[in-house]
Amino acid sequence: MKRGIAALLVLSSVGLAQPICATTKTILVLGDSLSQGFGLAPSEAYPMLLAKKLRAAGLNFRVINASAAGGSTEGGLERLPAHLKRKIDIFILELGINDAFRGVPVDQIQNNLQEIIDKVKTRNPQMRVVIAGMQLPNYTTDDYVYAFGKMFADLAARNGAALVPYLLQSVAGDPSLNLSDGIHPNAAGQKVLAETVWYVLEPVAREVASREKLESH
């Protein structure tokens, strides 16, 4: 008898949960080691920290971190189809720096990023895009450094996307916020990245959430 009651309670709670799950929005993060949280636990990477901020703000979003260490724009294109099977409401794109380290022409990097955005938008026309910009250290030619940094703003303008001007703002070059390699943020650095992205993401998430409320009335 007790087992029967327990089973009914479980079924009831599942039934009650369904309407809540149905309204949950999805944020997909496609990035490289910076978004993956290289050398850290998955929960310490900024995408998962954003998930906590969203919950605390009363915004019903789940965050899927599809980032991979060493990720390039070509690699992003290859990995993308597996993530297009689900509806995406906000797409955070953080790729390109590894291409630049390999000397890939900026035009090619930009074309790949645009193709990624196009593919996601084709499946999710109402989706909002957030582009996480990066900058290069000044050890390459000035023209390349300038073109690479400008590329992210150009992409954001072309696609009506929200822009994080520089993901590593206040983190790059600070030994206390990076792992011993001096490149990847440590747990404290990832918290700063989360704040940097949250500043741009929060109004976008609120807009997406309010749009659903309007559509449901």
Active-site choice (33, 35, 67, 72): 33
- Is the four-CA dihedral 45, 54, 28, 103 of positive or negative sign? negative
- Structure tokens, 14: 């599942």
The answer to whether the CB of 163 falls within 8 A of the CB of 135 is no
- From the candidates 142, 143, 180, 181, give the one annotated as an active-site residue: 181
* Active-site residue identified among 32, 89, 99, 184: 184
180 noted as active-site residue:
no
- Report the alpha-carbon distance of residue 160 to residue 80 in Å, rounded: 21
Conformation bin of residue 145: beta by default, left when phi > 0, alpha when psi is -120 to 50: alpha
Which residue numbers are catalytic? Answer: 33, 181, 184
